[in-house]
Structure 1
Amino acid sequence: MNVLILIVGFFFLIKGADIFVDGSSKIARKIGIPSVIVGLTIVSLGTSAPELAVSLISSINGNNGIAVGNVLGSNIFNTLVVLGGTSLAMPLIIKKKLVGKDYFVNILVIILLYILTFGFMFSGKDGFLSRTDGIILLVCCLAYLLFLIFSTLKNKKSTSITEGERKELSSIRVLPNLFFVILGVIGIVLGGKLVVDSATNIALSIGMSEKLVGLTIVAIGTSLPELVTSIVAALKGETEIAIGNVLGSNIFNILLILGLSSAISPIAVAGNLFVDIIFLFVVTLIIGVLIFANKKTDIKKLNRSEGILLVLFYVAYLAFIIIRN
């Protein structure tokens, strides 16, 4: 039965992502929003819904110790497997000017999370996210959203379109596509839940511990929407949505999800998670090197060999946490 539910979950995930990408990209073209901004906002918020649901329910129940581990695991999966796996399906064309600022925000957000959680210590002692820390993260989230809105308005003023493009845009209707976006999100969230629940039951039935399941299957499962959506977007030629989805999801996972979770109920953070934050910081720096190292061109093509390298990094990380736990 769990195998059947797993298959149904993957169907909802893939079909929901397909509908979601189509609807959001058409709305973006209609109202003049760059695809990368759509990826950073609508798509990333939609695909972060599973992480948000898991963390908020845990916080409301006063048992949100898994929130930080879930977010860190999801962000590491996004950075290595979503980007790596997407570039395996279709090499990603990345415009450096469009993602540079958001990549820099990613770096700052990881540093902020470490400081709020562990201060400036590297001793492995337990950390803590207070309600005040949660409010700080939420204020930063609001500031980031305002920055994206400002960037969108600025882009609309500087963008000119041809008569042919104007006719094509006039044929796009916003409300039907908005319906498809919402329908896609529902499919993504429902599919993600079915996959996580069924995979967890299968794993427990073959003897995996609950803690290990939480660090692996739950973190991976809640990131499946990002993976499927990014791959579908890349295959449809919307590579800017794919990279925007990863950057936006990582930012909102920390600022919005951990911000809300710790604002509702302060979070005690296990000391050994400082290693995971450092690892997330390092792999994010590696992504930066891959994208921005060559300053002679504004276009970076993340190819399949680099994708394989990123996926192998994640395999090594999985081996580490399995041994650690």
Structure 2
Amino acid sequence: MEYILLLVGFILLIKGADFFVEGSSSLAGILKVPSVIIGLTIVAMGTSAPEASVSINAALAGSNDIAISNVVGSNIFNGLVVVGICAFLHSFMPHGEILKRDMPLNILVTFVLCLMFLDGSLSRMEGAVLLLGMIVYLGFMIYSARKNREEGEPGKILSLPRSLLYIAGGLAAVIFGGDLVVDKACIIATNFGVSQNFIGLTIIAIGTSLPELVTSIVATKKGDSGLALGNAIGSNLFNILFILGMSAVISPLHVLGESVIDTVLLLGSAILLFVFARTGRRMTRSEGAACVLLYVAYTAYLFVR
């Protein structure tokens, strides 16, 4: 039964992402803003809902390890696998604003998180600073959306009610499908004797990132690379600033030495992604393949650690 429900979860993810992307792209056309803005905000926060649910609930339950490892693991997956697979499927030219603003900001925020982790904890005050950063970022994105209204490219536009229905229904299917996949994958992994620590850093992190993966792949196949890359980078910023910030405000988080190492590796992957995106102003298929292979190597490292 677990295998059947796992399959149902994947189907909900794929079809939900299809509707979600179509509704989001249509909303960008209606609002007359670039789809990358929608990707960095509405789509990024929507597809990060599973991470928010897992980490905040873990913080409430006092499970600090899961709250931190879920976010760090998901961000590594987003940067290396989500963007890597999209580039491998179809090389793309990153949006100029993402290169100049969001990718450097992602590196800066990850570096700040590394510094916060060095003392072995993430305090309520540090969590509040992260939440403040999220408010400032969202405020700037709203300002940017208003400023760039004339740059919006409509594409295929649905009616506003239908667009919102596609977004809400698609997101619900994506989140429910993601939860189903995570739950059943954890049961199957436990039956095979895999440790809880490994499950938290891989299966839960990957499972909660499936919405980002499927949504970005669907967006790339529809030719909307701006929404795809914006979704991945926006999700990473949201995961650190809001999810870890909120989790720490709820309950100060104890940081393991292994989590510090993983966060340093996350910083390295963010820098590498930025370098790949800047070389030739294009993410090539070979660079995408390199990202995915690096994630495979990281998973092997977790397995033997």
- Unpaired runs of at least 5, structure 2: none
CA-based RMSD of the aligned residues comes to 1.6
Instruction: Provide the TM-score with structure 2 as the length reference.
Output: 0.96
Partner of 2:130 in structure 1? 137
Deviations 1:224-283 (A, max 9, x none): 111000000000111100000011000000000001100001100101221111111111
How far off is 1:301 after superposition?
2.9
1:153 correspondence with 2:146: yes
How far off is 1:93 after superposition?
2.7
Counterpart mapping for 1:309-320 below 5 A = 309-320=290-301
2:169 maps to which of 183, 208, 218: 183
Change (3 A) 1:216 1:160: closer
Runs of 4+ aligned residues of structure 1 deviating over 6 Å after TM superposition are none
Deviations 1:92-147 (A, max 9, x none): 2313344420111101110111122215xxxxxxx101111111100000000011
- Unpaired runs of at least 5, structure 1: 120-126, 295-299
Q: Quick check: which has more Rg, 1 or 2?
A: 1
Change (3 A) 1:160 1:175: closer
Helix, strand or coil: the match of 1:272? helix
Helix, strand or coil: the match of 1:10? helix
- C-alpha distance in 1, partners of 2:233/2:29? 21
Deviations 1:15-46 (A, max 9, x none): 11000000010010111121111110011101
Partner of 1:240 in structure 2? 226
- C-alpha distance in 2, partners of 1:248/1:37? 9
Partner of 1:64 in structure 2? 64
Counterpart mapping for 1:66-85 below 5 A = 66-85=66-85
1:285 maps to which of 255, 271, 276: 271
- C-alpha distance in 2, partners of 1:243/1:40? 8
Change (3 A) 1:145 1:160: closer
Partner of 1:266 in structure 2? 252
Helix, strand or coil: the match of 2:64? coil
Counterpart mapping for 1:220-231 below 5 A = 220-231=206-217
- C-alpha distance in 2, partners of 1:95/1:10? 29
Partner of 2:121 in structure 1? 128
Give the paired residue count.
Answer: 305
Asked if the contact 2:35/2:152 (under 8 Å) is kept, the reply is no
- C-alpha distance in 2, partners of 1:260/1:102? 21
The one-letter code matched in structure 2 to 1:147 is F
Change (3 A) 1:160 1:39: closer
